[in-house]
Amino acid sequence: MLAAALWLGAPASAEPVARLVSFEPGAGFALADAQGIARVVTAPGDHEVVRIAAADLTNDLRRVTAATTANGTQIWLGTLGRNPAIDRLVRRGALDVSKLRGAWESFVIATVANPAPGIPAALVIVGSDRRGTAFGAYELSRAIGVSPWHWWADATPEHHAAIYAATGLHRFGPPSVRYRGIFLNDEDWGLQPWAAGTFEPEAGTIGSKTYAKLFELMLRLKANMVWPAMHKVTAPFNANPENARLADRYAIVMGSSHAEPMLRNNVGEWTAPAADFNYLTNPAGVADYWNARVRANGRYESVWTLGMRGIHDSGIVGPTTDDARRSLLQRIFADQRAMLTRGVNRDLTRVPQVFTLYKEVLDVYRGGLKVPDDVTLMWPDDNFGYIRHVPDAAERARTGGSGIYYHLSYLGAPLSYLWLSTTPPALIREELGRAWDAGARRMWVANVGDLKPAELATDYFLQLAWDIPGTRGKPIDTVVTDWAAGTVGADVAPEIAAIMAEHHRLNFQRRPEHLQWWLPGELSKPSPLAPAEIATRLAAFDTLRTRVRSIAPRIAPDRRDAFFELVDYPVTAAALANTRVFDAEAHDRLRDTDPAGAAVAGERSRAADAEITALTSRYNSEIAVGKWRGMMAVEPADGQWRRYRLSVPMLPAPTAPPRRKPGPSWKAPGEIAPPSVTSVVLTGPRPSPGNREVLPTATIVIEAEEAEGPRTGWRVVDGLGRNGAAVATSVPATLSYTVTLPPGRWQLSAEMLPTYPTIEGADLAVSVAIDGGTPVRVGVPRKTGDRAWALAVLDNRLDLALPTPLAAGRHTVSIGIDDPAILFDALRFDPLPPSPANAGTQGLSHGH
């Protein structure tokens, strides 16, 4: 490990990357040395969050150095206009704040010589506003080695005996997205039982103690907004007035979800009959209910959700047609805004408001709903990471702007994913980058479920929101390596990044919560994967587990809890979930023909299930000395919401001891070894283009990034796709491929990720030309909620099939892409049975 590593900051502005500290003597002065640590100085008249951040920075210096005494140097922390000493530096020209005045959440970190009599130098952190100042303090904490996740993931910082501030002035901000935050949701099986039973049993719910830790995390991640937990099992955030006061102390902007207009948690706060939550029949009662929240919270910094839906994530009650819903919503907008005018600010342009176009509300909007121009339009994904709509030119011109509501966790149809966080960072980057390019820059909120184990995804989402130009250009491996270095250790960080890349690739093919191949309400059926594909998949998971085990002994003892929480548990649990399911399938397939082989497979399936239970028990009982008891639950955790939860795994019943003991190979005794390749998925050295000759019975797959010729108009998307990369375009582009097909008839399909077309209502489509012939437009409609959508999001794949089969022989295939929303993954050639009309033909040949 480097003895004198320099931390590199990532300002959201165009300033050069900042080197803030060194751990060896240099040109700067000592923030910590043998005599102690610097004193953090604030002004009595500054904001309360500044004092909180100053105390945390002091504790972080102590945490890194183990020092408790002061060494005589000083860190000045203050908000422009609220700290007289810093303001004097500005007036005399010792501190350049020309780009800070009037900026949103920005800050400067600078060394200043002789800032006051008797003080030879100070490190000055000055913010444009209260959050900017706090962000500056936590930026320095990160620079000295304290991860934002030090508490939430037990990421103990590396010890340093001395810390030296680099000279110069460094600018940060303003952020790329104005409001950036998270939504705690579906907390029934993790965050709520942990908070109520372990962390703050005196509250019996997610209360002020938990929110204080969450708000600190948000500031350390440069986030500024929280939608609080809102399920029925949790006490409403505003039921305890201390929670709102706490958010204000931490300078956190509170909002509420699409189902909670006017900061009202309906499932916990609406005490009248459910039928009365109806603005057609009970407008006065509902208005009084909303007005009470305006009176209580109007003095705090909030974003007010407008509109109305049902009490809990259901459609609005009362109107029965879209025209009636549209008319009622426009009346509701007017009434809600009148409340805000009276109770918050007469100038509504100074009152942040948002309307989230979620589920059925999007159809009402598309039907002509008029939303006030200064209200932010919040565009959702489809609950599975694919953004349904990005702003068009008219929407970009609105003063309220646009935002994005994005899911990293979800409870709902077709199948939930609440257990392990497996959304690839590259998908987050591509979809949010597309939204940013289209003008969705006002507010981004991620549904993070219980927060754990979504630490990496949450971190990356908020990195993008703070500085999308600087973050999106970094390779995902670099992002994950940096994150792992800060949480687990720099010496193992590259290996962890490689492990997480493979973890995301395998689980992108099928999430661990989606390991069933029938939709809820349908008859169960086995997976469509061939035995060789299953064997390859399980071997890859076994390799991942081996790599995790090989790293574990090299983790510093005080970071082993972090390694378990962030790497070991999610990677190992996902691997075991696959073993449990596929060995259960092998048992059922072999039960009648090979009882001994079936017994071996059944024993492996049961052993994997038992290991998941033991691993989860370790998370809840042993890690961090029981700190996380109640936090982790395996999906499905219980029988609630069965209509969109993974079916309870049907484990084979124990039988008489098999003749052989389970081994590392997936193949059960007595089962014929599968061929080494059935689906040709090229992950190692690949044959050169034009020389792809395989067995006639094999499916042929050409990865999208293997296109021939120069990369004109297209780029490889690292860390995305079913085999590690996909292709995206920013301008219309054509990609060409050459393949030699064995004898037979072949079906060509272009595999895409199930994104949504840029043009509302259009098909997701590409043009396909064979052997220089006339291009054929091939596409599929995208309708959220139908069966095709459900199957696509569970597989993370859409197949665009050429209607005419191909003949044997050498072919060139050209794929034309003119929509930047398309993420192209692969070409697939599937063998077809002989034509019934003429079994001797080889299919149709396309122009030469």
Query: 695: domain CATH number?
Result: 2.60.120.1620
Same domain, 464 and 521: no
Residue 682 has pLDDT above 70, yes or no: no
Q: Which stretch of 391-405, 410-424, 515-529, 635-649 has the lowest confidence by average pLDDT?
A: 635-649
Measured from the Cβ of residue 444, the count of other Cβ atoms closer than 10 Å reads: 28
| pLDDT value of residue 638 | 85
- Residues 146, 213: one domain? no
Same domain, 465 and 528: no
Phi, psi of 361 (to 5 degrees): -65, -30
Domain boundary among 644, 664, 690: 644
Give the end of a domain, one of 644, 661, 687. Answer: 644
Residue 693 banded pLDDT, cuts 50, 70, 90:
very low
Q: What is the pLDDT of residues 78-103, one digit of tens each?
A: 999 999 999 999 999 999 999 999 99
Residue 652, domain member (yes or no): no
Q: Structure tokens of 751?
A: 């595999």
- CATH code, domain carrying 460: 3.20.20.520
- Cβ neighbours of residue 668 closer than 8 Å, sequence gap 6 or more: 586, 587, 590, 594, 597, 598, 600, 601
CA–CA gap between residue 289 and residue 537 (Å, rounded): 54
- Domain shared by 264 and 400, yes or no: yes
Q: Which residues contact 550 (CB under 8 A, 6 or more apart)?
A: none
Q: Same structural domain for residues 506 and 535?
A: yes
Q: Is residue 843 part of a domain?
A: no
Q: Note whether residue 650 is domain-resident.
A: no
Q: Is the pLDDT assigned to residue 660 strictly greater than 60?
A: no
The 10s digit of each residue's pLDDT in 766-799 is 999 999 999 999 999 999 999 999 999 999 999 9
| CATH number assigned to the domain comprising residue 630 | 1.20.58.2150
Cα 437 → chain centroid = 19
Using the 3D structure, point to which of 440, 459, 474 is the last residue of a domain.
474
Q: Which domain holds residue 630?
A: 500-644
Tens digits of per-residue pLDDT, 419-443? 999 999 999 999 999 999 999 999 9
152 with 232, same domain: the answer is no
Same domain, 717 and 791: yes
| pLDDT confidence of residue 313 | 82
**For 373-383, what is each residue's pLDDT tens digit?**
999 999 999 99
Does 663 map to a domain? no
- Do 124 and 194 lie in one domain? The reply is no
Residue 34 burial class via C-beta count within 10 angstroms: exposed 0-12, middle 13-18, buried 19 and up:
exposed
Residue 660 inside a domain? The answer is no
- Whether residue 283 is contained in a domain is answered as yes
Domain count, the chain: 4
> So what's the pLDDT on residue 678?
28
Task: Give the list of residues 6+ apart from residue 639 with CB closer than 8 angstroms, or none.
Answer: none
CATH of the domain at 26: 3.30.379.10
Tell me how far apart the alpha carbons of residues 410 and 754 are, in angstroms, rounded to a whole number: 17
State whether 507 and 443 are in the same domain: no
Structure tokens belonging to residue 580: 């449990």
Structural domain includes residue 672: no
What is the band of 636 on the pLDDT scale with cuts at 50, 70, 90? confident
Reference 242, options 268, 208, 199; nearest CA is 208
Q: Are residues 379 and 509 in the same domain?
A: no
Task: Decide if 649 is inside a domain.
Answer: no
Looking at the structure, do residues 355 and 286 belong to the same domain, yes or no?
yes
Q: Are residues 205 and 305 in the same domain?
A: yes
pTM of the predicted protein model = 0.93
